[in-house]
């Protein structure tokens, strides 16, 4: 649940925390320079201005799309664009200033196009184009890179995540990978430079976030480079075996390959084993997979380049960032008692900007007090529903007693990781079977269940979703957290799957990607409140679709709804009204059915991503309001498939634009 864009955690759509045009959605170095550009890289995005009639607007859509891919090479990789697979983002102040000027130029050029030249569809495209760019400019002005330390999607996590999708099929792919891996250390070092600048300006991250990132970096460094996922990608499904001090490669070849004469192959594959110092203390040898598509020479050069870049360059960069955070940032960081933005210079103004950024509401509706009060009212309403449903299911109406029973009963939780994953697969299968009754447009892209990797499962939230690659080679993926399965409630498993996959994130985002008659930026970017509001809207819709097994699962729906309502209270509480981290944890624990470990991770996420958590409930309210309006106007003619198709057919538009789109449809 990203947008992101690791990607936002449940729900945050990873890589879609909506910076402009994201997907939320990522002889080796020298060979790439001399190879001719492959056919697949020519006219890769020839539909970047699809559906745009005005020539000037079409040029702007194309240019802005291409400039964003160059600026966000990880997102380009996630989309399946191979051109930037060797690049890393430039986080420097100069690059941010350069981009701000470029975006401002695009905005001025778009606004200068005479309105009478634009069709109604072009007018909507221009509105969305300008909105996206202005939001990006506002984010640049905040300078989050200089005072945000993020345990969920910081640079170290982005590096590990990109390794999951980095292509290695061709020689060019492998050359680009090595080029990128060798650039990671500079990317990490830029993080320190930015944070040092923020500290000078009096803006620093929260102490808890800094401690978590330090612990994550220590955990990364505790992993032998040979076992790192950043090296595993170069192993080609081969396996490591130990070569003891002064051991014999011939003996390993005899033991593992059945023929001591094949030691030459092992020496070609394991160039690192030519290092005398390694041989003195012992090392490991890669035994290639029997069906390895690479020759021993090719595998050896690739593996050696990757291993040495990780071991000799990236690990020291991780260690340098860890030491910098511990030495210079931790001591100055915001305490848990002062975790919110209100404690930073200009923090309240920054927070209002982030409210507008994530909710896409007009400025007049971005009032922290009004949002806080809405959250309090929703929490009270949902607690009453929990009381009623608890009485029906357990004969118990006291909310605290219901919470205690659900949290403390082993039978209410899973026992194994396999059970957590199996239930997710089962729920996804059930939802697929009901889609056609409530949705006219069904996405072509598949969705699969994937476990959250071990390197992030401890500190991340309960689940998240990553959208399919634009080239169709990778399906949508619902990442489920199986860490400590005994803390994963059975009663929340169904609603979680529906939010993250179908009919939540996967359905909406895959449909958006498949809108071939709109520009690419509309297919791959959009409002957090739309994306997360839609997924939250579908949680209750699934009860109308008869997807929940029983009242126990409906209690999970209420727990999730209360969770998102509490976000309105605690996010504004910390960032606008000075709540402490502990106050936020206590409030969230007392008013949801979430386990304690999930509550603490959630609050730390709100500290790291101010304002993002407001998008869910505010977006849900918008979808419910518009549906009520449509049902009132259309009466018996109202159709779920038609309503859902109308709200999804333009991509993840801002809520203000969504209101106009639906009003225009109803008027016609």
Q: Would you state the pLDDT for residue 277?
A: 86
Pairing relation of β-strands 447-451 and 476-480?
A: parallel
Report strand pairing: 476-480 vs 463-466.
Answer: antiparallel
pLDDT digits (tens, 9 = 90+) for 195-207: 999 999 999 999 9
pLDDT the model gives residue 120: 95
- Whether 583 shows a pLDDT value over 90: the answer reads yes
* Domain count of the fold of the chain: 1
Distance in angstroms (rounded) separating the CA atoms of residues 403 and 559 = 10
pLDDT at 101: 97
Both tokens of 105, joined, read: 């130029």
What is the band of 595 on the pLDDT scale with cuts at 50, 70, 90? confident
Q: Is residue 106 part of a domain?
A: no
> Helix (H, G, I), strand (E, B), or coil: what is residue 476?
strand
Mean per-residue pLDDT for 349-353?
96
Buried b / exposed e over 501-535, threshold 16 CB at 10 Å, is bbbbbbbbbbbbbbbeebbbbbbbbbbbbbbbbbb
Strand partners, 239: 287
Which positions ≥6 away from 67 have C-beta within 8 Å? 102
pLDDT above 90: percentage of residues in the chain: 87
Asked if pLDDT for residue 4 goes beyond 70, the answer is no
Residue at 641 is within a domain: no
Q: What is the pLDDT of residue 668?
A: 84
Residue 526 lies in a domain: yes
Which pLDDT value is given to residue 42?
Answer: 58
Q: What is the pLDDT of residue 275?
A: 87
Buried b (16+ CB within 10 A) or exposed e, 62-74: bbbbbbbbebbbb
- Residues in the chain, how many? 668
Chain-centre distance of CA 497, in angstroms? 16
Residue 477 lies in a domain: yes
For the chain, the average pLDDT equals 92
Confidence of residue 303 (pLDDT cuts 50, 70, 90): very high
Does 605 reside within a domain? no
pTM: 0.87
Instruction: Return d(Cα 113, Cα 21) in angstroms, integer.
Output: 22
Average confidence (pLDDT) over 169-195: 97
Distances 544 to 503, 552, 630, 640, 662 between C-alpha atoms, Å: 12, 16, 17, 11, 22
The DSSP element (H or E) to which 642 belongs, if any, is helix 640-648
| Per-residue model confidence (pLDDT) at position 63 | 96
Which whole-number Å values give the CA distances from 352 to 13, 434, 604, in the listed order?
A: 22, 40, 20
Looking at the domain assignment, is residue 496 inside a domain? Answer: yes
**3-state SS class at 522:** helix
Give tens-digit pLDDT for 610-659.
Answer: 999 999 999 999 999 999 999 999 999 999 999 999 999 999 999 999 99
* pLDDT tens digits for range 94-134: 999 999 999 999 999 999 999 999 999 999 999 999 999 99
Residue numbers of the domain that contains 476: 408-550
Mean pLDDT (whole number) for 303-315: 98
Matching residue, tokens 């915001």: 334
Place of tokens 């109604």: 120
Strands 463-466 and 447-451 turn out to be: unpaired
**Is 417 part of a structural domain of the chain?**
yes
Query: How far apart are the C-alpha atoms of 21 and 64, rounded to whole Å?
Result: 9
Q: Kindly report, residue by residue over 356-376, the tens digit of the pLDDT.
A: 999 999 999 999 999 999 999
Sign of CA pseudo-dihedral 76, 424, 379, 343 = negative
Any idea which of 3-7, 170-174, 420-424, 464-468 has the lowest mean pLDDT?
3-7
Q: Per the domain annotation, does 413 fall within a domain?
A: yes
Please, where are the H alpha helices in 143-234? 155-162, 171-200, 207-222, 229-232
Mean pLDDT of 146-161: 94
Q: Could you read off the pLDDT of 21-76 as tens digits, one per residue?
A: 333 322 333 333 334 456 456 568 989 999 999 999 999 999 999 999 999 999 99
Closest CA to 379 of 569, 586, 595: 569
Q: What is the pLDDT of residue 604?
A: 93
φ and ψ at 452, to 5 degrees? -65, 135
| CA dist., res. 278 & res. 430, Å (int) | 54
Mean pLDDT over 203-227 rounds to 96
């Amino acid at each position: 649940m990203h947008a992101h864009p690791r990607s936002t955690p449940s729900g945050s759509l990873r890589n879609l925390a909506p910076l402009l045009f994201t997907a939320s959605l990522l002889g080796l170095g020298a060979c790439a320079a001399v190879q001719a550009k492959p056919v697949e890289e020519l006219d890769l995005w020839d539909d970047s201005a699809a559906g745009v009639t005005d020539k000037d607007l079409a040029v702007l859509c194309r240019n802005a799309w291409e400039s964003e891919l160059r600026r966000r090479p990880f997102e380009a990789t996630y989309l399946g664009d191979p051109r930037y697979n060797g690049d890393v983002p430039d986080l420097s102040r100069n690059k941010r200033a350069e981009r701000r000027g470029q975006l401002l130029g695009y905005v001025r050029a778009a606004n200068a196009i005479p309105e009478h030249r634009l069709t109604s569809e072009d007018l909507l495209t221009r509105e969305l184009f300008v909105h996206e760019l202005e939001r990006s400019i506002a984010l640049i002005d905040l300078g989050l890179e200089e005072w945000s330390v993020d345990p969920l999607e910081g640079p170290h996590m982005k590096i590990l995540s990109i390794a999951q999708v980095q292509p290695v099929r061709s020689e060019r792919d492998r050359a680009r990978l090595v080029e990128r891996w060798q650039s990671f250390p500079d990317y990490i070092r830029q993080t320190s430079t930015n944070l040092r600048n923020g500290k000078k300006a009096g803006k620093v991250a929260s102490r808890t976030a800094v401690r978590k990132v330090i612990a994550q970096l220590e955990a990364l460094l505790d992993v032998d480079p040979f076992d790192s996922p950043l090296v595993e990608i170069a192993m080609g499904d081969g396996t490591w075996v130990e070569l003891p001090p002064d051991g014999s490669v011939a003996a390993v070849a005899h033991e593992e390959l059945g023929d001591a004469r094949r030691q030459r192959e092992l020496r070609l594959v394991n160039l690192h084993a030519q290092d005398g110092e390694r041989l003195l203390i012992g090392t490991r040898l890669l035994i290639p997979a029997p069906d390895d598509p690479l020759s021993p020479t090719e595998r050896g050069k690739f593996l050696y380049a990757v291993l040495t870049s990780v071991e000799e360059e990236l690990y020291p960069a991780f260690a340098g960032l860890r030491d910098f955070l511990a030495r210079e940032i931790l001591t100055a960081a915001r305490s848990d008692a002062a975790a919110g933005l209100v404690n930073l210079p200009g923090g309240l103004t920054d927070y209002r900007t982030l409210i507008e950024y994530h909710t896409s509401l007009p400025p007049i509706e971005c009032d922290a007090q009004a949002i806080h009060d809405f959250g309090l009212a929703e929490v009270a309403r949902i607690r009453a529903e929990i009381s009623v449903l608890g009485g029906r299911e357990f004969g118990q109406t006291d909310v605290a007693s219901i919470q205690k029973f659900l949290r403390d009963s082993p039978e209410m939780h899973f026992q194994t990781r396999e059970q957590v994953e199996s239930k997710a697969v089962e729920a996804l299968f059930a939802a697929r079977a009901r889609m056609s009754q409530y949705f006219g447009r069904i996405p072509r892209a598949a969705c699969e269940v994937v476990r959250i990797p071990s390197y992030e499962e401890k500190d991340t939230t309960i689940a998240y979703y990553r959208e399919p690659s634009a080239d169709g080679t990778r399906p949508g993926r619902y990442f489920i957290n199986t860490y400590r399965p005994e803390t994963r409630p059975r009663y929340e498993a169904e609603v979680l799957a529906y939010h993250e996959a179908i009919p939540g994130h996967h359905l909406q985002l895959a449909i958006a990607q498949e809108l071939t008659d709109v520009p690419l930026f509309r297919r791959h970017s959009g409002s957090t409140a739309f994306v997360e509001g839609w997924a939250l809207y579908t949680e209750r819709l699934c009860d109308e679709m008869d997807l929940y097994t029983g009242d126990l699962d409906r209690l999970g729906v209420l727990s999730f709804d209360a969770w998102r309502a509490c976000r309105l209270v605690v996010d504004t509480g910390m960032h606008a009204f000075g709540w402490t981290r502990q106050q936020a944890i206590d409030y969230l624990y007392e008013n949801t059915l979430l386990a304690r470990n999930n509550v603490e991770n959630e609050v730390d996420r709100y500290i790291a991503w101010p304002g993002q958590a407001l998008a869910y409930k505010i977006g849900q309210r918008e979808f419910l309001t518009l549906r009520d309006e449509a049902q009132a106007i259309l009466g018996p003619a109202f159709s779920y498939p038609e309503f859902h198709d109308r709200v999804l057919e333009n991509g993840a538009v801002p809520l203000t634009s969504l209101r106009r789109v639906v009003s225009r449809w109803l008027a016609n």
